[in-house]
Structure 1
Amino acid sequence: MSLDTVTTSVAFPIYSAGSIVLINIDGLLIYRQKIERKNQLAIVMTIIALVLINA
């Protein structure tokens, strides 16, 4: 039913990229993992891409 309001070209990238971002943030907050500079950049770029997909 949710795919009636959101197209699959938007829903699936949001789900997959969003879960990767949430896993990285959880690892940072819960396990105090160090995130390298290039991975931080990748997370920021992923968040920007998610915003652009929703616009």
Structure 2
Amino acid sequence: MAKKESKGEISVREAGRRGGTTTKERHGPEFYKQIGHKGGQKVKELIERGKAAEK
């Protein structure tokens, strides 16, 4: 993919990368582990609710 050069603007991809890097520096790898677990628990809960609604 060709890079676009513009004056002072960054791509969405670059903004996401910078935000992720900043978050990692501020909170550390344990933060990602915690939010991943939290998200997994939410998915599990939603699946269980869906199965219960089918019955």
Shorter-chain TM-score category? 0.3 to 0.5
Structure of greater Rg: 2
